[in-house]
Amino acid sequence: MRLQPIVTACLLAGMTLLFYGFHLGVAPRSADEGAFTQQAQSVRAGSTPLFFHVKDEQWLQPLAVYANAAVHIVGGDDLSGRVVSAVAGAIDVALVFLIAQLMTGRSWIGVVAAVLLMLTPAHRALATTGTDAILPAQFFQSLRSKGRFDGERRLMIAVLEDAVNCFMKQLHATDPKARQLFLDAEEWISADDRTWFFAFENVCDTLDLDPEYVREGLFKWRAAERRRIGDAAVAAAVARMEDAEDVERDDDQGGLRLVNRG
């Protein structure tokens, strides 16, 4: 694997950890979090079991408990478990980028997938709660149950990728054919009709994406891009007007000098 994807994954993980860090003290501590903290305290007291039993059939992952204890030893507090969860959440985001980048061969798809995961409220909530809910055993269980992408999902990925490419690359197109590609993609993304199997919302649902979230993100990008191009056009027009005024002023001054010499 090249170094660039690793660097990008590390940057995404760092951004995620920073983003989640601002939410660590927001939610009150739950009973499950208290159980992890209690078991971590027993580790600091010298107890080092392989598995941690709470009550009845409830057992805790040793990785979460030992990591909680380790963070507390190096200067943590009662929220040490949340630091561990936030780190695990950041690693999840980095892994999603690497998986998507390897599957598609396109870094931007990996970045989009990673950012979507980072901003998902459920993932953020699990990553800022000091339990083992965000750790790999839970996070990858659903992926294992789904297995590899089958032909239908691969086809839907290709459909979505093609539409997004047309939407973004042909936004400012003036050629009629290229302009029509943009309009078709825009219409497909905007439609809320689910009667067609390959409708935008059906494709997003099949790929476990929130259609409203993806749609809103694309439309915000479109508005920002149009503002950018509009500001550049206005700046160019103002510059041309100023140049024209300078030329006109020079001509007037030259005429006056000519009259004085006469």
The residue to which tokens 């030893």 are assigned: 73
Please write the tens of the pLDDT for every residue from 17-43: 888 887 776 566 666 666 667 777 777
- What 159-166 contacts at long range (C-beta under 8 Å, 24+ apart), as own/partner pairs, is 159/198, 159/203, 160/200, 160/203, 160/204, 160/207, 161/104, 161/106, 161/109, 163/188, 163/189, 163/200, 164/218
CB 166 within 8 A of CB 185: yes
Collapsing DSSP to helix, strand or coil, 149 comes out as: coil
* Whether the predicted model's global pTM rises above the 0.85 cut: no
Angstrom distance (rounded) from CA 186 to CA 171: 9
User: pLDDT (tens digit, 0 to 9) for every residue of the chain, 262 residues total?
Assistant: 466 888 898 999 999 888 888 777 656 666 666 666 777 777 767 766 666 666 665 666 666 667 666 765 555 556 666 777 788 888 889 988 888 888 888 888 989 988 988 888 877 777 777 666 666 544 444 444 444 456 677 788 888 888 998 898 888 888 888 888 889 999 999 998 888 888 999 888 888 889 999 999 999 988 888 888 776 666 666 666 666 666 565 555 555 444 444 4
Angstrom distance (rounded) from CA 241 to CA 233: 12
